Amino acid sequence: MNYSAPLPLDLPALRQKARWVWRETLRIHRRSPETRVASALSCVEILVALYYGGFLRYDPKQPFWPGRDRFIASKGHGAISLYPILADRGFFPHEALTQIGQPGALLSVIPEPAIPGVETVNGALGHGVGVGCGMALALQRRDPDRRVVVLVGDGELHEGANWEAFMLAAQHRLDNLSVIVDNNRISMLGPTDAIVSHRSLPVKLEAFGWAAASVDGHDLEALLTILAAVTPGQPRCIIADTHKGRGVPGLEDAPLSHVTSIPPAQLDALLGETP
Amino acid sequence: MNDRVRSMRDALLETLIDRMAVDADLFLLSGDFGSPVLDRLRVAYPDRFINVGIAEQNLINVAAGLALEDCKVVAYAIAPFLTLRAFEQIRTNLALMAEFRPMTVLLVGVGAGFSYTLAGPTHQCLEDLTVMRALPNLDIYCPADWPTAQALAVQCLNRSRISYLRLDAAALPVLPTLRDEPADSPSSFRLLRTGGSLVLLATGYMSHVALRLADRLADEGKACGVIDLYALSRFDASALAGALARYATVMSLEEGFIACGGLDALTLNLVNDYQLRCRVIARGIPAGYRFGQGSREQLLTKAGLGEATLWQHVSHLATRENAPDEI
């Protein structure tokens, strides 16, 4: 069977699922401290809305099922919160979650395309929107009902190649392409605004010909509403305002959270687990 | 024949027009770069000709996205901008991605070596063989004439590989070959001349120079071998080693920076791998950028690779190595 029929979990179930993904992400980080946990925690609700909210169509038994929607986690470092979801949906066994970063393990610290459910090489930033543009162009001719969704970080948008792709997508009216910005406003060395400010992303994207809207990126209900909107003839950009290191005291919104690991004792306390 | 001298670019675009008529999944992406022949193509196939604008990074990324959706893609731009501006896109989204998914992408870079004679060093391309050869999963071709360019393009589009076709911007004559090789099925290299104890192993424009040098030697009653090597990453190594084995000296000739991993490195590795006893003399462009305009020959002369200089070198080697005591 495939999962093309919308799953959608109801709102309480989605919130529960988001809590579970948050906890699993911390567990992954507990075992593999080299993972970029803060960046992964800012996009938990975005991923849950996409995979459980009835938005993305996919078939875990056929990762390259032609009828799937294409999802690119262009902010590769922050995508470890995708792993529990892919395991939960049946792309690979749950036990793979316990082996991240170990020699011979299926799952890597930055997702690789050898992993079922991962479309492209990411981690090198600024590639996903352009590659997604190419996919959307092909699908626009062949199967315009399929969507291409690209998740980027706001820091990643410093890469100029994104803006080349934004221009092309609007020119070709790629309304099957959506970009979600995980706008946690912190890149590796501090607040994005203090490094090279984007000023207003919605204004910029609209000036580039996109339909752009901001949303609280941790509010599942708001995410579902905004994901469901359609804008014929225009690619869509959802600027999801989020908090890096969400839910972890001391990490959340910390300027250097990208390169901060959570101490094992704090993780155990957060998870309510005894080591 | 009128069509003996012809631009590789126009010949290639005509081939693409023919292919696009029968292959509905073939796209041509251009970095706002074209020619009158391209105008015909974009009128005929407006939905599969995509001008991404002056944006080579996006040219590669969009090509990768289309190829991942099983389209065949030709990405067409000026050689240095294609290979150098977009190098990391080629590395990540093509060379690296090709480890996981089959993709058919043909990168076509126009302007090999000094062939944009008047545009200066920004448009001239002396680094592409070096950087493209650094990438795994990439087939690199530097044809010396338009029939070879056409045939290579067809071959590349018939297989799921990433290829780079390095084209000269100038209209060049068709190279005469020794044997009746089928023009539509090039392999790795072709023998243009045999004889003597020196062989010139050249690529692209330098194959034409090598042929002229061999003909001058012949006028003096001497001989040297000439090999046009157009495949510069995957090639028939044992056949090439066999062709080189009879010679005492191999001179590699490339219109690219010398000692940076281009044809010279390929030659040295081959001689080493097959334990050939020939010595290798590498000739290419010495390090440095040269501003100022001139003809192709003037630019090459300024860079130390002019035909007169090469003639001195080659005639000296051919004289010495044709001496009876060395036969």
pLDDT digits (tens, 9 = 90+) for B158-179: 999 999 999 999 999 999 877 7
The pLDDT score that the predictor gives to residue A45 is 98
Picking from A113, A160, A161, the nearest residue to B97 by CB comes out as A113
Which pTM value belongs to this model? Answer: 0.95
| Nearest residue in A to B47, CA atom | A141
For residue B178, being part of any structural domain is answered with no
Q: What is the arithmetic mean of pLDDT over B301-315?
A: 97
Would B310 be classed as within a structural domain?
A: yes
Does residue A148 sit within a domain?
Answer: yes
pLDDT, one tens digit per residue, over B82-135 is 999 999 999 999 999 999 999 999 999 999 999 999 999 999 999 999 999 999
Specify if A84 maps to a domain. Answer: yes
For A199-203, what is the mean pLDDT?
97
pLDDT at B20: 97
Q: List the single residue in A130, A132, A138 with the smallest CB-CB distance to B57.
A: A130
Tens of pLDDT, residue by residue over A213-250, are 999 999 999 999 999 999 999 999 999 999 999 999 99
Mark yes or no for CB contact A133/B58 under 8 Å. Answer: yes
Q: Where among B172, B207, B233 does a domain terminate?
A: B172
Q: For position B177, what pLDDT does the model report?
A: 79
Top-confidence residue, A69 or A274: A69
- List, for residues B173-206, the tens digit of each pLDDT value: 999 877 766 667 778 999 999 999 999 999 999 9
In a shared domain, residues B143 and B292: no
* Domain CATH code at residue B168: 3.40.50.970
Please answer yes or no on whether A160 and B57 come within 8 Å at the CB atom: yes
Q: Is residue A41 part of a domain?
A: yes
pLDDT band of B308, cuts 50, 70, 90: very high
Last residue of a domain, one of B118, B139, B172: B172
Mean pLDDT of B300-318: 96
Same domain, B161 and B211: no
**Residue B250's domain is classified under what CATH number?**
3.40.50.920
Q: Are A133 and B67 in contact (CB < 8 Å)?
A: no
Residues B31 and B126 in one domain: yes
Contact by Cβ (8 Å): B250, B201: yes
Establish if B181 belongs to a structural domain.
no
- Specify if B50 maps to a domain: yes
From A124, A160, A164, residue closest to B92, measured CB to CB: A124
Statement to judge: residues B197 and B110 lie in one domain: no
What pLDDT is stored for residue B320 in this prediction?
A: 63
Residue B263: pLDDT over 90: yes
Q: Using an 8 Å Cβ cutoff, are A29 and A267 in contact? A: yes
In a domain, A5, yes or no: no
Report the run of H or E that residue B127 belongs to, with start and end.
Answer: none
Classify residue A35: in a domain, yes or no: yes
Is residue A2 in a domain? no
- Segment (H or E) for B253: strand B249-257
Answer yes or no: is B183 within a domain. no
Q: How confident is the model at residue B321 (pLDDT cuts 50, 70, 90)?
A: low
CATH number of the domain that A36 lies in?
3.40.50.970
Tell me, yes or no, whether B215 and B305 share the same domain.
yes
Same domain, residue pair B20 and B147: yes
Of B172, B200, B218, the position where a domain reaches its end is B172
Asked if residue B208 and residue B161 are part of one domain, the reply reads no
For A18-37, write each residue's pLDDT tens digit: 999 999 999 999 999 999 99
Q: What is the mean pLDDT of chain B?
A: 94
Exposed, middle or buried: residue B219 (CB in 10 Å: 0-12, 13-18, 19+)?
A: exposed
Q: For chain B, what is the radius of gyration of the CA atoms?
A: 20
pLDDT tens by residue, A176-185: 999 999 999 9
| Cross-chain residue pair A137–B93, CB shorter than 8 Å | no
Burial class (CB in 10 A: 0-12, 13-18, 19+), A154: buried
**Does residue B180 form part of some domain?**
no
pLDDT at residue B277 tops 60 = yes
Domain span at residue A177? 11-271
- Do A131 and B68 make contact, defined as CB atoms within 8 angstroms? yes
Q: Do B167 and B202 belong to one domain?
A: no
Band the pLDDT of B62: cuts 50, 70, 90.
very high
pLDDT at B183: 67
Q: Is A146 on the interface with B (CB under 8 A)?
A: no
Cβ–Cβ of A135/B63 closer than 8 Å?
A: no
pLDDT at residue B56, rounded to an integer: 98
Both B28 and B57 in one domain: the answer is yes
Predicted confidence (pLDDT) per residue in B36-59, tens digit: 888 899 999 999 999 999 999 999
Whether the CB of B104 is below 8 Å from some CB of chain A: the reply is no
Contacts of B216 (CB under 8 A, 6+ apart): B311, B315
Interface test with A, best of B57, B90, B137 (most A CBs within 10 A): B57
Q: How many domains does chain A have?
A: 1
CA distance A209 to chain B (A): 16
Q: Examine residue B252 and state whether it is found in any structural domain, yes or no.
A: yes
The pLDDT tens digits for A106-160 are 999 999 999 999 999 998 999 999 999 999 999 999 999 999 999 999 999 999 9
Q: Tell me if chain A has a CB within 8 Å of the CB of B46.
A: no
Specify the pLDDT at position A244.
97
- Given CB atoms, is A124 within the 8 Å cutoff of chain B? yes
pLDDT score recorded for residue B1: 44
Q: Do A121 and B71 touch (CB under 8 A)?
A: no
Percent of chain A with pLDDT over 70: 97
**Does the beta-carbon distance from A168 to B92 stay under 8 Å?**
no
B227 and B138, same structural domain?
no
Q: How many CB atoms lie within 10 A of CB A255?
A: 14
**Looking at the structure, do residues B290 and B193 belong to the same domain, yes or no?**
yes
Q: What is the pLDDT of residues B75-93, one digit of tens each?
A: 999 999 999 999 999 999 9
At B326, the pLDDT band (50, 70, 90 cuts) reads very low
Size of interface A-B (CB pairs under 8 A): 90
Q: Which domain holds residue B145?
A: 2-172
